[in-house]
Structure 1
Amino acid sequence: MDLPLVVGVDGSESSLQAVDWAVDAAARHGLAVRLVHASMWERYEGVGLTSDLGRPSEEQAAEGLVRAAVERARLRNPDVKVSGELLPEDPEVALLREARNASALITGRRGRGQVMELLLGSVSLALAARAPCPVVVVRGDERSRDAAHGRLVLGVGAAENSSAAVGFAFREAEARGCVLEAVRAWRYPAHELVDHPLAADESARHHRQMATELLDAALCVPARDHQDVDVRRAVVEGPARRVLLDRASGADLLVVGARRRTGRTGLQLGRVSHAVLHHAHCPVAVVPQHG
Structure 2
Amino acid sequence: MRVLFGYDASRSAMDAVDTAGRLLPGASATVLFLWEPPFASAELRQRLASRAQSVDRLIDLLEDEGRAEAERLVAQGVVLARAAGWDAEPRVERSFNEGYQLARIAEQDAFDVIVLGSRGMGGAQALLGSTSDLVVHVSRVPVLVVPAALMSAERAAAGSGPILIAFDGSPGAEAAAAAAERLFPGRELERVTTAPEGEAHAEGEATLVPLRGRAGSARAVGGTLTEYAAERGAGAIVVGSRGRSASRELLLGSVAKAVLHHAHRPVLVVPHPRSA
For residues 114-263 of structure 1, the aligned pairs below 5 Å read 121-139=129-147, 141-143=150-152, 144-147=154-157, 148-176=159-187, 179-187=188-196, 207-208=199-200, 211=201, 213=202, 215-216=203-204, 233-238=207-212, 239-249=220-230, 250-259=233-242
Q: Which residue of 2 aligns with 1:198?
A: none
For residues 32 and 185 of structure 1, the distance between their equivalents in structure 2, rounded to whole angstroms, comes to 36
Amino acid across the alignment from 1:96: A
- 1:150–1:251 contact (8 Å) kept in structure 2: yes
Amino acid across the alignment from 2:221: A
Q: Which residue of 1 aligns with 2:249?
A: none
Amino acid across the alignment from 1:243: T
Partner secondary structure for residue 141 of structure 2: coil
Partner secondary structure for residue 174 of structure 1: coil
Structure 1 segments unaligned to the other structure (5+ residues): 188-203, 220-231, 261-268
Partner secondary structure for residue 265 of structure 2: coil
- 1:138–1:145 contact (8 Å) kept in structure 2: no
Deviation of 1:14 after TM superposition, in Å, equals 0.8
Partner secondary structure for residue 184 of structure 1: strand
For residues 284 and 169 of structure 1, the distance between their equivalents in structure 2, rounded to whole angstroms, comes to 11
For residues 113 and 43 of structure 1, the distance between their equivalents in structure 2, rounded to whole angstroms, comes to 9
Corresponding pairs, count = 236
RMSD, aligned α-carbons? 3.2
For residues 53 and 254 of structure 1, the distance between their equivalents in structure 2, rounded to whole angstroms, comes to 52
Partner secondary structure for residue 245 of structure 1: helix
Q: Does 2:85 match 1:102? A: no
Deviation of 1:99 after TM superposition, in Å, equals 1.9
Partner secondary structure for residue 259 of structure 1: coil
Structure 2 segments unaligned to the other structure (5+ residues): 52-61, 213-219, 244-251
Amino acid across the alignment from 1:107: L
Q: Identical aligned pairs, as a percentage? A: 28
- 2:190–2:207 contact (8 Å) kept in structure 1: yes
For residues 284 and 152 of structure 1, the distance between their equivalents in structure 2, rounded to whole angstroms, comes to 10
Deviation of 1:43 after TM superposition, in Å, equals 8.4
Partner secondary structure for residue 102 of structure 2: helix
- 2:24–2:184 contact (8 Å) kept in structure 1: no
